[in-house]
A = this chain, B = another copy of it.
């Protein structure tokens, strides 16, 4: 949990929100694991032996992979038991209910998200328009990679759940909100640094970039191609919001852009 809290802290910092004021929010909205512990008591729901913890992690990892490609609806204790060659009852010790399993799966997807997108950008000290680019770039990379390669995270879940009540839709909505806020905060920061033109609306631009990302995911599921076009389109969008402080030649191609970022990193 220590490690997880640290990641959430970085995530919240990336949204430039005061962490201390949000501790309750983190526990109720993001902390599926915490929610699960509160509900079932740690001894009942989470075996405390290291073997038990390892098994639980393996089950969640497999469940995330299934959900990424087929949605939460495709998950069942029975299917997981069969795929992992475990007994149903053995699996049931780790998750008291289908809902507890689903919450753990969404939380794991979020952790992949922090680890893959927010944490590296924070650690590498990406700022300004560069930070906006890397948020989009890492998002595309994440849906291209092996673990979250389906369409469910972070898009299908939102479209399917957004109007529903209950803890799972609430968590999915909060996650989507966090993502838009993170993009908008990066754009505002870039605007303060005069790398994004001062006339640009950060919220609107965040929604536009998000549209390009989910559109790219749609296209990829449809045509099985990579995100080359999407990267060019995002670069063109960044060009349209950038201030004169960023040299125009940097936007000529993704290659030119990467070279520009390398130079400015020195």
Contacts and interface: CB of A to CB of B under 8 A. Distances in A.
A163 B233 CA distance: 25
Nearest to A220: B162
A51 interface: no
B163 A69 contact: yes
A26 B92 CA distance: 45
Contacts of A158: 151, 156, 218, 221
Contact of A159 (B159, B163, B173): B159
A63 interface: no
- Copies of this protein chain in the complex: 2
B217 A159 contact: yes
A34 interface: no
Interface stretch (A126-134, A188-196, A202-210): A202-210
Contacts of A161: 70-71
B180 A222 contact: yes
A25 interface: no
Interface size grouping (class) on chain A: 35 or more
A180 B222 CA distance: 10
26 contacts: A70-B160, A70-B161, A71-B71, A71-B160, A73-B73, A73-B160, A151-B162, A155-B218, A156-B159, A156-B160, A158-B218, A159-B159, A159-B160, A159-B218, A159-B221, A160-B160, A162-B221, A176-B222, A177-B222, A204-B229, A207-B219, A208-B215, A211-B212, A211-B215, A211-B216, A214-B215
A221 B72 CA distance: 19
Contacts of A151: 158-160, 162-163
Q: Most chain-B CB neighbours within 10 Å: which of A70, A159, A212, A215? A: A159
Contacts of A71: 71, 73, 160-161
A150 interface: yes
A70 B164 contact: yes
Contact of A215 (B162, B177, B215, B221): B215
Contacts of A113: none
A57 to B, nearest CB: 24
A139 interface: no
